[in-house]
Structure 1
Amino acid sequence: MKLRLFPQEPAGLQLLSQMARQILEATGTLSELFGAPVTEHERLVEELHEHEAKSTDLHFALLTHMRTSFVNPLPREDMYALSRFLNEAMEKLDAAGELVALYKLDRLPKRAADQLEIISRQAELTVDAMRQLDDLDELEDYWIEVMRLAKRAERSHRTWVAEMLRDMKTTQFSRNRDVANQLVDVTKDMRRVATQVGSIIVKEA
């Protein structure tokens, strides 16, 4: 038997899915920024800001929806937590791009692309998972996979920092580490989303 909470009012789940979609699209923009000349940074950072602004708008739209809807597909505190974690992930992704432009970084190590690949996969899984929150039977694999990806990102981050410390001068190291820290923090926020989903699964089991 499929586990369902409240099949009414699916708009909140659609808003959460759209927030995850903004993260997925922003990873594409950030990937382009990582490979772009400094002259293209301003345009691409502005595009990232637009993704961040859309995410914030969706976050507030969800809060309004929860206040005005008689029945929500999940407890309000769970929906709020999911929305907050997604919005914070988007803010950090935007910050990573802004740092690249401010520091005028035109060559990032391959591990930056590796981290973006992980974030992209986490976001891709989350887009679908948010739409399925009224049917929890299929989401345990999502929870486990996003957690696995987050652990992989943390291992990659530690190696990246060690390599930069070995190969870069102090100023260069500091600037690249700031970007690296923002990226790994995005993966942690995506992990928080998955952990919240796991908590919902456990509560409703």
Structure 2
Amino acid sequence: MAALFRDGVTTLSECLGAPAGQYEQLAEDLHRKDARIFELHFALLTHVRTSFITPLPREDLYQISRALVDAFGHLDGAAEFMALNEVKRLSARASEQLEIIGQMSDLTVGAMRRLGSLEDLDEYCMEILQSAKRAERTHRSWIAEDIRGLKPATYSMHRDVAEQLVAAARDLRRASNQVGQILVKES
């Protein structure tokens, strides 16, 4: 699921650089990936419910999976807002925000591979927390710049995209928080 999320970040990056006429196609690609990540979430639910022994507590696996599903939903939402409103010329902060989310997703992919051993996951939690703080600062700067420089209708469309991106970062932080709880419980 984390790898699919990373793929979604790449698709949304393409959307930021594409002409408005390609938004709909890229948004459809994200919709398909969103459906796939939900299928993986459901498969995980089925697996942990039917398994006698799981490597980690079922509730923790569910919470991590749910955070990834929610985060992807926000990527999908950002692309959909762009396509529906034909949003043009987003602030450079959009690329900066997506870069932060990309770094967070790379960290998450690596962490999910190490969940079985729980090695070096405390570093992952700290790096995600730092990145999430950076994402919040970027979001505030983006909103402040746009509110001063855009007409109200344009600002509203841009803000909708910005809100979706910061929500994705928050959900990745939530997945990391769940990993941190596992570390505390298992130590």
| Same fold (TM > 0.5) | yes
Matches within 5 A, 1:40-51: 40-51=22-33
Give the structure 1 partner of residue 167 of structure 2. 185
Distance 2:79 2:62 in 1: 26
Q: Given that residues 164 and 173 in structure 1 are in contact (C-alpha distance below 8 angstroms), is that contact kept between their aligned partners in structure 2?
A: yes
Aligned with 1:93 (options 62, 75, 86): 75
Give the structure 2 partner of residue 31 of structure 1. 13
Q: Given that residues 26 and 51 in structure 1 are in contact (C-alpha distance below 8 angstroms), is that contact kept between their aligned partners in structure 2?
A: yes
Residue 132 of structure 1 deviates from its aligned partner by: 0.9
Distance 1:108 1:31 in 2: 12
1:21 aligned onto 2:3: yes
Distance 2:14 2:166 in 1: 18
1:63 aligned onto 2:45: yes
Between the two proteins, the alignment pairs up a number of residues equal to 187
TM-score (norm 1): 0.89
Q: Given that residues 36 and 106 in structure 1 are in contact (C-alpha distance below 8 angstroms), is that contact kept between their aligned partners in structure 2?
A: no
The RMSD of aligned alpha carbons is 0.8
Give the counterpart letter for 2:35 in structure 1: A
TM-score (norm 2): 0.98
Distance 2:160 2:20 in 1: 18
List structure 1 segments (4+ residues) > 2 angstroms apart after TM superposition. none
- Is there any run of 5+ residues in structure 2 with no aligned partner, and where? none
Q: Given that residues 38 and 106 in structure 1 are in contact (C-alpha distance below 8 angstroms), is that contact kept between their aligned partners in structure 2?
A: yes
Output one character per residue of 1:48-78: Cα deviation in whole Å (capped at 9) or x when no partner. 1111011001000000111111111110110
Secondary structure of residue in 2 paired with 1:106: coil
Give the structure 1 partner of residue 63 of structure 2. 81
Residue 137 of structure 1 deviates from its aligned partner by: 2.9
Output one character per residue of 1:136-180: Cα deviation in whole Å (capped at 9) or x when no partner. 131110000001000000001001100001000100111100100
Residue 106 of structure 1 deviates from its aligned partner by: 2.4
- Is there any run of 5+ residues in structure 1 with no aligned partner, and where? 1-18
Q: Given that residues 35 and 107 in structure 1 are in contact (C-alpha distance below 8 angstroms), is that contact kept between their aligned partners in structure 2?
A: no
Q: Percent identity between the aligned chains?
A: 51
Distance 2:143 2:34 in 1: 27
Give the structure 2 partner of residue 173 of structure 1. 155
Aligned with 1:146 (options 120, 128, 133): 128
1:110 aligned onto 2:88: no
